[in-house]
Structure 1
């Protein structure tokens, strides 16, 4: 089931609250959240299912953006005759 364009609510929440700008950001966010979740599993488990976060879905979002940027740069090079 999708949620606001993301694969589920947990994935949407990560994107909403942390607003990652790169795949590297996602790696840092994942490590930080996993550490916090493991320290306070009962507390966090009542609010969010860490294991339901679709990290692949989040990364695909950036891969798509990166592909668009590359395509745009190639188009500009073509216009400039490079």
Structure 2
């Protein structure tokens, strides 16, 4: 299967019940690391709209990415593109208790 066909299939059906693989992976990692989970829960418990929580979570990871790579590179572009595909709203929705 070509990457184009795989991407079309992924967008049509999602991944493991999530918007896409990137969203699933972010949620998986946030749920499997205690400090990340605590951070996520602090955001989820804030008294603001879900979209505001999603924006805060996304901004956190974009800031982390910028700190990891002080100059543009192949890896910063690949990771940045992956983070851009994450459905941050869905991650927040799934973790609001």
Distance 1:23 1:10 in 2: 22
Deviations 1:24-82 (A, max 9, x none): 1676753331113234253233245211110111122134xx3xxxxxxxxxxxxxxxx
Count of residue correspondences = 64
Structure 2 regions of 5+ residues with no counterpart?
1-10, 32-36, 45-52
CA RMSD across the alignment: 2.8
Distance 1:61 1:32 in 2: 18
Q: Post-superposition shift, 1:23?
A: 6.2
Partner of 1:31: 59
Structure 1 regions of 5+ residues with no counterpart?
67-82
Name which one, 1 or 2, has greater alpha-carbon Rg: 1
Q: Secondary structure at the match of 2:16?
A: coil
1:62 equivalent in alignment to 2:95: yes
Q: Is the deviation greater in 26-35 or in 48-57? A: 26-35
Q: Secondary structure at the match of 2:65?
A: helix
1:44 equivalent in alignment to 2:56: no
Q: How does 1:14-25 map to 2 (within 5 A)?
A: 14-19=26-31, 20=37, 22=41, 24=43
Q: TM-score, normalised by structure 2?
A: 0.48
